[in-house]
A and B are shown apart, each in its own frame.
Chain A
Amino acid sequence: DTAVSQTPKYLVTQMGNDKSIKCEQNLGHDTMYWYKQDSKKFLKIMFSYNNKELIINETVPNRFSPKSPDKAHLNLHINSLELGDSAVYFCASSLGLSGGIPGELFFGEGSRLTVL
């Protein structure tokens, strides 16, 4: 039973299109994240939600819009895709400040986005 699952695992699309990635965690965690990993493996935080509230919003173009319908789900919608958006997008979850190893992240398998 996958702890953090993302769909789809692969997206190939044209510039200018809109796409969404969905994430679900069954760990009972309070906090969820979106990270972007570029071709050089640099993993950069984009957004974080804690109990459905946005708590981290890094310098990300407003074409990227996260949404958390409940604390087990976090989606990412990207409008007007650009070539530079090509990357692997990882969803992650953590217990936040409510226990476990503070800061320990549990990652999904990643969604590889290719913009042509």
Chain B
Amino acid sequence: QKEVEQNSGPLSVPEGAIASLNCTYSDRGSQSFFWYRQYSGKSPELIMFIYSNGDKEDGRFTAQLNKASQYVSLLIRDSQPSDSATYLCAVTPGGFKTIFGAGTRLFVKA
């Protein structure tokens, strides 16, 4: 079983729609959860982090965490073509190690 699993996509949504990205993780002791965005040919950049169960909102982005189900999600409201990228779910079990999922490619059609 992979440590962090994501649907590789591609996920295609029309402009203005809600994009929903999902991630599951295997280490029940994981403490910190992240979403990074990576544009083609660029490096990953952090867009959201969450530590506690529930929702966390930042602008058009909402991260959701359910530790009992070992599930993390990212919602992007009012999706824009500029949101088209690969979204990497990352989990820190503890200490210094951050483990990434394989990423979900998102296409937002104008």
Q: Which residues of A come within 8 Å of B, CB atoms?
A: 31, 35, 40-45, 48, 50, 55-56, 90, 94, 96-97, 101-105, 107-110
Chain B residues near A101 (CB-CB < 8 A): 46, 49
Residue of A whose beta carbon sits closest to that of B93: A103
State the Cβ distance, A50 to closest chain B Cβ, in Å: 6
Report whether B32 and A102 are in contact in the complex, using a CB–CB cutoff of 8 Å: yes
Report whether B96 and A41 are in contact in the complex, using a CB–CB cutoff of 8 Å: no
**Chain B interface residue count, Cβ-Cβ cutoff 8 angstroms:** 24
Q: Which residues of B from 75 to 106 have beta carbons under 8 Å from A?
A: 86, 88, 90, 92, 95-100, 102-103
Q: Mark B14-57, 1 if CB is under 8 A from A, else 0.
A: 00000000000000000110101010001111100100000000
Report whether B96 and A55 are in contact in the complex, using a CB–CB cutoff of 8 Å: yes
Inter-chain CA distance A102–B38, complex, in Å, is: 20
Inter-chain CA distance A8–B95, complex, in Å, is: 30
Report whether B97 and A104 are in contact in the complex, using a CB–CB cutoff of 8 Å: no
Given contacts A45-B98, A45-B99, A103-B92, contact A109 B49 (CB under 8 A): no
State the Cβ distance, B25 to closest chain A Cβ, in Å: 13
Instruction: Specify which of A41, A96, A97 is in contact with B38 (CB 8 Å cutoff).
Output: A41
